[in-house]
Chain A
Amino acid sequence: MSGPLIEVEGLKKYFNLGKGNVLKAVNDISFSINEGETLGVVGESGCGKSTAGRTILRLYEPTAGSVRFNGTDIYKLSPGKMKAMRRDMQMIFQDPYASLNPRFTVTDIIGEALDIHNMAGSRKERKKRVEELLDMVGLNPDHATRYPHEFSGGQRQRIGIARALAVNPKFIICDEPISALDVSIQAQVVNLLQDLQKKLGLTYLFIAHDLSMVKHISNRVAVMYLGKVVELAESEELYANPMHPYTKTLLSAIPVPDPEVEASKPRILLNDTGSGPIHSAKDGAASGDIYNLDNSSLVEVTKGHWVAIPNS
């Protein structure tokens, strides 16, 4: 692993809800991802994980902050330069079915990604590349003329991965790539992602709400809550020594597939967390901000272990 490939600094993405209410989906997050590394992002629905991912790829324009890819601030790029940059930054989505055009064959779907970046070459080269990609993700190249509905959920996710890989990206954001899959299939896809990372030197941002899987696949993990990163550490360290109360709550809520471990767990009851990261015009605070995150800063408490601590 070498230096940072991705540097996110002070990134904000707000959505205006009208009447002075602002949804601060991503509210000042900073982190970097080294080349060849997997950074996991966990948190509950609505905490801003996916918005962060999309803003980092500039699928959304940011409200503030910067994202540097190999040192270049992508928000400063012209549309043409941004398009070229997109080759290096790809995304894999949660619902493989919704993200694949049902009227396209697999060849069309993967070929389209090549066409956008003029990488298809001749018809024959295009076909060869598609077959090569299918083989790489463990699908039968003979199935290139089939349609998405002819594949199972796990196979569709492989098609989505092949499409992302078509343009030889360096960085892939995986947004809940296995959430829609059966347990027995999830491990197939996770192993594939890990193999490809080794083979191609890929860098991942892996977004998920399944903390067990995130821990398994990530070198470091960032925990998000109400648009903020509340804790960031190496994955073993985070799970062994969670420091932020929200991280602790989240970890204790994960059921472990072991009846003895479950039986020894205390029963926890948590409070309803309000309406999420919506800052109302009236008092300006997010209603669920029970940890006073608006007045906290991320502090490196031990080497590489960052925790949001209230400003004194």
Chain B
Amino acid sequence: MESILEVKDLHVSFSVRGGEVKAVRGVNFTVGKGETVAIVGESGSGKSVTAQTIMRLIPSPPSKIKQGQVIFNGEDLLSKTNKQMEAIRGKDIGMIFQDPMTSLNPTIKVGKQITEGLIKHQNLSFAEAKTRGVEMLKLVGIKNAEARFNQYPHEFSGGMRQRVMIAIALACRPSLLIADEPTTALDVTIQAQIINVMKDMQERFGTSIIMITHDLGVVAGMADRVIVMYAGEVVETGTSMEIFKNPQHPYTRGLLRSLPRIDQRKDEPLVPIIGTPPDLIKPPVGCPFAARCDHAMKVCERIDPDPTHLSDTHMSRCWLQHPMAQEVQSS
């Protein structure tokens, strides 16, 4: 598949009083054309920092991109000027956040917020932009779109606001949509609707999607491929089938085991992952999961394993899968 985005060896840190939070530590992944890639992992694992770095939305200071490249359509976004980025944001890359109220301007009618990008990026007249804006509102399932066009964000419910955000993010038909926990604040029935809207839009426009979430159910329903992050690193990637049916990294396995499933009987107790993630001011030198891992070996605490490729699409960063440790695994 042709890739639209390639994140290469990305390192991002924050200066804080106690030192430097190494939030993203060598992240690599690609997103194909029309593909949905989910990034999962617990809070603080670096998902949002990664997304905001791609969009160059992360304030510096306190953040610092230490190393790496973000190749979008063949060009490195990290070497763009702010002005160039402004032309890309909204036009080529759209973004939706968890809380639409923080990204919608409460004092401006939603119609104006949709048409702004269209007028700026696509040189449409106001009338043309309005036609397109109303059409977008209809597409995301907002009834009475003409009337709603002239309303303010607070006149919409949470789920409806998130639809407006999707309409704004997709108005210019960006080739990439980054959605950071877009359904986390919503009820499950509303979440199901929003996911359907996103799938619909993707089919219609061929948009690639990066979906950041901690809900593995949402991932299973949406993603072609999954990136599992832990402590600022990508610890496993694979197709949805590989990650859900054949997870290899002990963190991924732990996550799946700690979830109750609505479609299964509850005979077995949940298996929690013990402990908490490491402090990223002083990340461990070895595998970041070692302190919580049932399989941790001596080598794990000393050396962070390199990626092991298990198939063209499946990668795990764990000594258990490392070719040098095959004997250990079988014992």
Contacts and interface: CB of A to CB of B under 8 A. Distances in A.
Nearest to B195: A255
B164 to A, nearest CB: 13
Interface of A: 44-45, 152-155, 182-188, 190-191, 194, 209, 211-213, 215-216, 235-236, 239, 249-262, 265, 267-270, 272
B327 interface: no
Contact of B261 (A45, A236, A257): A257
A126 B262 CA distance: 43
24 contacts: A45-B187, A182-B43, A183-B214, A183-B259, A184-B255, A185-B272, A187-B258, A187-B273, A188-B273, A212-B217, A212-B261, A212-B262, A249-B189, A251-B262, A254-B188, A255-B188, A255-B192, A257-B216, A257-B261, A258-B261, A259-B221, A265-B221, A270-B192, A272-B159
Interface string B251-284: 0001110111111011001111110100000000
A138 B271 CA distance: 16
- Choose among A45, A209, A235, A258 the residue with the greatest number of B CB atoms under 10 Å from its CB: A258
A256 B217 contact: yes
Contacts of A183: 42, 214, 216, 255, 258-259
Interface in B267-315: 269-274, 276
Interface in B2-29: none
Interface in B132-149: 141, 143
9 tightest A-B contacts by CB?
Answer: A255-B217, A187-B272, A216-B260, A187-B258, A44-B187, A262-B221, A187-B270, A257-B216, A184-B273
A211 B244 CA distance: 20
Interface of B: 42-43, 141, 143, 157, 159-160, 187-193, 195-196, 199, 214-221, 223, 240-241, 244-245, 254-256, 258-263, 265-266, 269-274, 276
Contact of A215 (B216, B223, B262, B271): B262
Nearest to B191: A253
A62 B190 CA distance: 30
Nearest to B192: A253
Given A183-B42, A187-B273, A188-B272, A257 B256 contact: yes
Contacts of B187: 44-45, 209
